[in-house]
A and B are shown apart, each in its own frame.
Chain A
Amino acid sequence: MTLDKVKEGQRLRIVALPGPDIRAQAIRFGIAEGELVTCTDIIPGGPIIIAKNRQEIAIGRGLAEKITVKPVAAPAPVKSLARRRAYGLPRS
């Protein structure tokens, strides 16, 4: 599936990034192919925000459509609401 189809709080693995420039910039940001990230925010009709630890990247919708990702099962449930939000997990 592509990055624009993910849900907020979803954990995913980056499978493929388009073009050498985007790939180089992505490696610098620490979100190279094979990396595990979390979708922390989706702006309706707009960019998708993904996070790896504390690093947050905003990706325009058009680019998100060209990034292949694979959903990964969420880790063991986190109970504290504050921590859930920090991980980008949905409220419930």
Chain B
Amino acid sequence: MACHDLNHDLNIPAGVRKIVLAGNPNVGKSVFFNAFTGLYVDVSNFPGTTLEISHARVGSDFILDTPGVYGVSSFNDEEKVARDVILGADIVINVVNAVHLERDLFLTQQIIDMGIPMIVALNMVDEATRQGITIDIKELERLLGVPVIPTVAVKGQGLKEVKQAVAHAQRGNSLPELEEMLPLLQQKTHSQAEALLILEGDPYVAARHHVKPIDRQEEIYLARRRRVDAIVAAVVKETSTGASWGTRLSRWMMQPLTGIPILVATLWLLYEFIGVFIAQTVVGITEDGLMKGYYEPFIRNLISPWLPPTSVPGALLIGEFGILTMTVTYVLGLLLPLVLGFYLGLSTLEDSGYLPRIAVLVDRVLMRLGLNGRGIIPIILGFGCVTAATITTRLLGSIRERRIATFLLAMAIPCSAQLAVITSMLVRLGHGYTILYVILIGSILVLTGTALNWLLPGQPSDLFIDLPPLRWPQPVNILKKTATRASSFIQEAAPLFAGGALLIGILQVTGLLAALQNLLAPVTVNWLQLPKEAATAFIMGFVRRDFGAAGLYSLPLTPAQSLVALTTITIFVPCIASALVIFKERGWREGVIIWPTILLLAFFIGGVISHILI
């Protein structure tokens, strides 16, 4: 049974009441979750997916958040996770956007049809009033058959009432059409919710009960849609529909003539914040000042009396690539501020509703690279961390799109850590080389995408997305999101870092590093026309791309050589963490093809540029 699995997977003690927050994307669920749970929240990866589920114990209750979905079924990973969490719920708090009742009540009615006791939090009622929408809450309550509480979650209004109303949660009025369909299956599944999902053709739930899915989905969906539209017609009165500032801004964001300048300005702001302020000013303080100035000398002094840095274990612990020196400095001094800055920017973009509009703007261009507009999301994410971005390729519609996006990410998108090092090298070379570098990497991205779109059989799937209303992001929400994401990222990255540093350290103390340098000399010296030591940078690039770029920093290179080296290292194989994710997401066979292909392409393209320039 699903509920049994859920208890086991998320470590929920038996006998507690499971309260699940459910709702469409961007309705403010997380604000409710934060308000109900306070500080101590656990975030777990949901089994079999990389989606995170926040959950917390509050008294004798267990509160779980779910990904925002438009309905419960198995269209994508988000829905599968939301489905299993909702199936295991004792009570559902359904958060509904008062401005978008027609869309949001579809999920509400579906949860009612599942027969789960619930209450509805009618959120953003202030926004609805401002837009001239009045909702007859008593009538809505009567028609749905469940308590409805008006709230303005971001201002804390109605949260207490929602908490109190949980005690009055009820099974609502399900669709009359279901009365004759459900009973037969219900005997077999012992659950109205699972019986409903089987009737709606959910193959996973059907397989769990060893029955064939019954395809009455469209019939039930249409009946539900009719009922929701009737409810909305009965309870919503619109007095005026003034075109707001938001409507106009939304248009400007999507029309190329205005949308491209807005996008460029946004990216420039992000670059100023992450690439200049965080990567240079903040990292200057944390990495060079704090870590290299205080922490590293301190730990060296502490360890060296026992294990001198000249000994093998000493070199591994506190040497050039030491686990206690380089790893700690990199993770805390460099990576942490960058990742925090990046997720801060990303969460702001996400919460404002701008991302889907960027997807509309770039849809036409991305279709040529074999992706639709949604493909821009992993690409933007990739500039933060290619590893995290590769995971989000799951939101793309088809395997073909995931393949193309993964390949482009691994090849032509430098991550924030790498960008920081690359930027500081480009600054030394001047504007001309910077522009040349951007053009080079941009053309490689476009050419690769076009080639993949042409080579792989099939067509990109078409864009079909909901445009949520634009709104001001809520600082508390953004900070909390940033903190959660950054901490889970660091938890995953730190052990990989330590492992990588250990590997390079071993290569160094055993003399293998020098041997590899000589082995690679024909490629580095003859083909790329770089000094022999550049090979170390490439070997380090296996561990982390930015290690590689950092390795080039100290080499005496001419401007042309620098450009060749930077281009090669940008295209060069992804870091261990993202390589592992590629293998995990795309399988071993594909991973084994992607990896050497990119490696060869990096040296090939680098060599071609070298022979043109030098």
Contacts and interface: CB of A to CB of B under 8 A. Distances in A.
Contact of A54 (B99, B221, B222, B254): B99
Given A23-B218, A29-B466, A45-B364, A53 B102 contact: yes
B157 interface: no
Interface string A78-89: 000011011100
Contacts of B250: 56
Interface string A20-46: 111111011110100000000101111
A61 B366 CA distance: 12
Given A24-B217, A28-B106, A58 B70 contact: no
A46 B254 CA distance: 10
Nearest to B356: A58
B103 A86 contact: no
Given A25-B75, A49-B254, A87-B241, A57 B464 contact: yes
B154 to A, nearest CB: 19
A63 B466 contact: no
Contact of B102 (A30, A41, A47, A59): A30
Interface residues of A, number: 36
B52 interface: no
Interface in B44-91: 70-71, 73, 75
A62 interface: yes
A92 interface: no
Given A43-B360, A57-B465, A30 B242 contact: no
A24 B221 contact: yes
Given A57-B466, A60-B372, A60-B463, A83 B225 contact: no
Contacts of B218: 20, 23-24, 27
Contacts, number: 129
B103 A30 contact: yes
A28 B103 contact: yes
A56 B464 contact: no
B256 interface: yes
B363 A60 contact: yes
Nearest to B468: A56
A43 B102 contact: no
B173 interface: no
B462 interface: yes
A25 B217 CA distance: 11
A41 B100 contact: no
B259 to A, nearest CB: 8
Contact of B359 (A27, A53, A54, A58): A58
B100 A60 contact: no
Interface in B420-470: 459, 462-467, 469
Contacts of B467: 49, 56-58
B367 interface: yes
Contact of A47 (B107, B222, B251, B373): B373
A83 B75 contact: no
Contact of B71 (A28, A57, A62, A83): A28
B70 A60 contact: no
B296 interface: no
A60 B363 CA distance: 7
B222 A27 contact: yes
B270 to A, nearest CB: 23
Contacts of A53: 102
B363 A46 contact: yes
B254 A43 contact: yes
Nearest to A46: B364
A63 B356 CA distance: 17
B99 to A, nearest CB: 6
B241 A25 contact: no
Contacts of B359: 58
Nearest to A87: B241
B255 A43 contact: yes
A85 B247 contact: yes
22 contacts: A20-B217, A20-B218, A21-B75, A27-B218, A27-B224, A28-B71, A28-B103, A28-B106, A30-B229, A41-B254, A41-B255, A43-B360, A43-B361, A44-B256, A46-B256, A53-B102, A58-B359, A59-B463, A60-B463, A61-B367, A61-B462, A85-B248
Given A25-B75, A55-B103, A63-B464, 10 more contacts: A22-B464, A27-B218, A29-B70, A41-B255, A47-B364, A56-B250, A57-B465, A60-B363, A61-B462, A83-B241
The 9 closest A-B pairs by CB, nearest first: A60-B463, A60-B462, A63-B462, A46-B364, A85-B243, A56-B467, A86-B243, A27-B221, A86-B241
